[in-house]
């Protein structure tokens, strides 16, 4: 297990962490570069004949189905890594599929384009949860560096998310056409695979193929399975209304599986740990349902009701706020990465449930900032200052750093070693559910906002106020019951 990680550290962490950091950077470059262009390209290239509003609606359904499915397939990818391919081969195969899918997005016809999205979804399921799981396997149980290691890894995610839209969409896509932007995103994924392969020796035996599953046979079987799975994914991409029911069924199945696995393990401690993990999954759903307003209702708010800053006589476009969160992550992640070990030495390091409660509180308080701004600072033009929205993103980012990288580490601590990949897939499935909920909330919050009606700003305030109260009440509840959840974790910190 961890004893097979080759010796050698860089900046206080195993060298293998920096391989995974670089690989994840390029994978996120591919994903966020592609995603930045997705909706606008689909509307213009495939639905323009419907007219503006209907084209945007059709494109939004395609986009929404894609973002939900991306997180749903993680649970299958975790199972494949645990039982069939191992983590290293799952990551390589997933990356290859994602590159192929990205190149397919250059197609001029809608059917090939949507199939490219389906291949991307399946490839992401093999890559995303498994590279996160491997980070946890680099540290011994009880190693205080684990949380900070995940926070550093999280910086790789956000560095890719920051650079990608600028390069793929704002530069290449805007100058040469979005088709070439998709090509550049796919090339980024190839770079990620090269980084992973070149520095693969740093990983040692971590994530290698399970015994009895060596050779090309299991790889071919998984590849055939991926091709078969692409068909229902293709169907669901055009039937997004079915996703809610599918998500609920999958979440219930996930709960049932881990409860059964905890009982079958014969260990009351393991059963309790799985119950704690599932409770924290619920908190994760709520957090991301609030946080994921960034790309929807908060974006609409910025478009219609925020005074944008002017730099050198040029007024910044409202979409610049999509890069604000990664900027704050990169600035603050080193602070949080250093904070947890420092607090641990002084015996003040909050438990995982307490960190989750702080994350939920951050998401809630961020919305109250906007409620306050709307109620007290609207100018004569019916807009609020960009500073309020930037402050909301700052507080949301601080909440994210308390919850998201800690949650990734939590999964690797609470799950049985043979089921960490599946558990990590469950973590991403909970985010898929959150994205589904976030879309419904955004539809309510941004209702009428596109028409610039004064009443719409009141609508934002009402919905954001409800989000604040729901978030803060549940955050307080988690804070109060965290000793009980911690007890269920049986010593995992």
Q: Give the up-direction half-sphere exposure of residue 267: CA atoms within 13 A in the CB hemisphere.
A: 16
**pLDDT grade for 437, boundaries at 50, 70 and 90:** confident
Range from 63-77, 246-260, 267-281 carrying the lowest mean pLDDT: 63-77
**pLDDT grade for 25, boundaries at 50, 70 and 90:** very high
Write down the pLDDT at residue 452: 40
Q: Is the pLDDT of residue 411 over 70?
A: yes
**pLDDT grade for 5, boundaries at 50, 70 and 90:** low
Write down the pLDDT at residue 83: 81
Q: Which residue has the higher pLDDT, 428 or 241?
A: 428
Rounded CA-CA distance 164/187 in Å is 12
Tokens describing residue 395 = 């507080």
- Rounded average pLDDT over 258-269: 92
Domains of the chain in start order, with CATH, are 1-238 (1.20.1250.20), 243-493 (1.20.1250.20)
Rounded CA-CA distance 294/115 in Å is 27
Q: Is the pTM of this model over 0.85?
A: no
Write down the pLDDT at residue 475: 96
Write down the pLDDT at residue 56: 58
Query: 145 and 5 in contact (C-beta within 8 Å)?
Result: no
SS3 at position 291: helix
Q: Which residue has the higher pLDDT, 275 or 140?
A: 275
Range from 188-202, 315-329, 344-358, 378-392 carrying the lowest mean pLDDT: 315-329
Rounded CA-CA distance 127/298 in Å is 29
**pLDDT grade for 8, boundaries at 50, 70 and 90:** low
Tokens describing residue 178 = 């979005």
Tokens describing residue 391 = 């402050």
- Rounded average pLDDT over 230-251: 85
Tokens describing residue 279 = 């409770």
Q: Is the pLDDT of residue 2 over 80?
A: no
Q: Give the up-direction half-sphere exposure of residue 15: CA atoms within 13 A in the CB hemisphere.
A: 12
Write down the pLDDT at residue 75: 75
Range from 66-70, 267-271, 282-286, 387-391 carrying the lowest mean pLDDT: 66-70
Q: What is the pLDDT of residues 45-54, one digit of tens each?
A: 887 776 655 6
Rounded CA-CA distance 108/97 in Å is 20
Tokens describing residue 12 = 């206080």
Q: Which residue has the higher pLDDT, 383 or 4?
A: 383
Q: What is the pLDDT of residues 445-463, one digit of tens each?
A: 654 434 444 347 888 899 8
82-92 burial by CB neighbour count: b if 16+ within 10 A, else e? bebbbbbbbbb
- Rounded average pLDDT over 277-283: 93
Write down the pLDDT at residue 372: 97
Write down the pLDDT at residue 143: 74
Q: Which residue has the higher pLDDT, 322 or 227?
A: 227
Pairing type for strands 314-315 and 310-311 reads antiparallel
Range from 70-74, 275-279, 485-489 carrying the lowest mean pLDDT: 70-74
Range from 6-10, 92-96, 243-247, 381-385 carrying the lowest mean pLDDT: 6-10
Q: Which residue has the higher pLDDT, 151 or 51?
A: 151
Write down the pLDDT at residue 58: 67
């Amino acid at each position: 297990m961890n004893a097979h990680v080759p010796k050698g550290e860089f900046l206080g962490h195993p060298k293998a962490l920096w391989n995974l950091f670089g690989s994840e950077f390029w994978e996120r470059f591919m994903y966020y570069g592609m995603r930045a262009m997705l909706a606008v390209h689909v509307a213009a290239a495939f639905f323009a004949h419907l007219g503006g509003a209907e084209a945007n609606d059709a494109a939004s359904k395609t986009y929404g189905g894609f973002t939900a499915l991306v997180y749903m397939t993680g649970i299958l990818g975790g199972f494949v890594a645990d039982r069939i391919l191992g983590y290293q081969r799952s990551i390589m195969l997933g990356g290859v599929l994602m590159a192929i899918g990205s190149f397919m997005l250059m197609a001029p016809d809608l059917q090939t384009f949507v199939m490219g999205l389906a291949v991307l979804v399946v490839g992401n399921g093999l890559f995303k949860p498994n590279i996160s799981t491997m980070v946890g396997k680099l540290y011994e149980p009880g190693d205080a560096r684990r949380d900070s290691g995940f926070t550093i890894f999280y910086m790789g995610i956000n560095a890719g998310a920051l650079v990608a839209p600028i390069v793929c969409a704002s530069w290449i896509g805007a100058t040469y056409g979005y088709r070439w932007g998709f090509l550049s995103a796919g090339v980024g994924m190839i770079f990620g695979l090269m980084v992973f392969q070149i520095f693969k020796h740093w990983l040692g035996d971590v994530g290698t193929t399970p015994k009895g599953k060596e050779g090309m046979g299991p790889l071919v079987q998984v590849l055939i399975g991926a091709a078969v799975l692409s068909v229902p994914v293709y169907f669901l991409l055009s039937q997004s209304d079915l996703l809610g029911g599918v998500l609920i069924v999958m979440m219930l199945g996930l709960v049932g599986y881990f409860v059964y696995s905890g009982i079958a393990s014969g260990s009351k401690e393991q059963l309790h740990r799985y119950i704690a993990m599932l409770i924290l999954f619920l908190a994760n759903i709520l957090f991301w349902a609030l946080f994921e307003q960034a790309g929807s209702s908060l974006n609409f708010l910025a478009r219609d009701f925020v005074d944008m800053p002017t730099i050198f006589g040029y007024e910044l476009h409202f979409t610049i706020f999509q890069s604000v969160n990664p900027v704050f992550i990169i600035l603050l992640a080193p602070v949080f990465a250093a904070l947890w070990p420092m607090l641990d030495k002084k015996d003040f390091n909050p438990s995982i449930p307490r960190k989750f409660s702080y994350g939920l509180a951050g998401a809630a308080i961020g919305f109250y900032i906007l409620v306050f701004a709307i109620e007290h600072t609207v100018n004569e033009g019916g807009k609020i200052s960009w500073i309020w929205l930037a402050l909301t993103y700052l507080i949301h980012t601080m909440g994210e750093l308390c919850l998201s990288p800690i949650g990734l580490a939590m999964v690797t601590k609470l799950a049985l070693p043979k089921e960490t990949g599946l558990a990590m897939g469950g973590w991403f499935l909970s985010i898929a559910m959150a994205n589904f909920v976030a879309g419904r909330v955004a539809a309510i919050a941004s209702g009428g906002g596109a028409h610039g009606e004064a009443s719409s700003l009141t609508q934002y305030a009402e919905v954001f106020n409800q989000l604040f109260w729901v978030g803060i009440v549940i955050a307080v509840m988690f804070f109060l019951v965290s000793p009980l959840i911690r007890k269920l974790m049986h010593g995992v910190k």
